[in-house]
Amino acid sequence: MKFFVDTADIAAIKELNDLGMVDGVTTNPSLILKSGRAIAEVTAEICAMVEGPVSAEVVAEKADDMIAEGRHLAKIAPNVCIKVPLTWDGLKACRVLSDEGHKLNVTLCFSAAQAILAAKAGATFISPFIGRLDDIHMDGMDLIADIREIYDNYGYETQILAASIRTVNHIVDAAKIGADVITAPPSVIKSMANHVLTDKGLAQFNADWAQTGQKIL
Active site members:
83
What is the identity of the amino acid at 36?
A: G
Residue 97, sorted as left (phi over 0), alpha (psi -120 to 50) or beta, turns out to be: alpha
Instruction: Please tell me the distance from the alpha carbon of residue 83 to that of residue 74, in angstroms, as a whole number.
Output: 10
Question: 159: part of which helix (H) or strand (E)?
Answer: strand 159-162
CB neighbours of residue 29 within 10 Å: 12
Task: Give how far the C-alpha of residue 187 lies from the chain's centroid of Cα atoms, to the nearest Å.
Answer: 14
Q: At what angle are helices 112-120 and 88-99 packed, to 10 degrees? A: 30
- Answer yes or no: are the C-beta atoms of 8 and 46 closer than 8 Å: yes
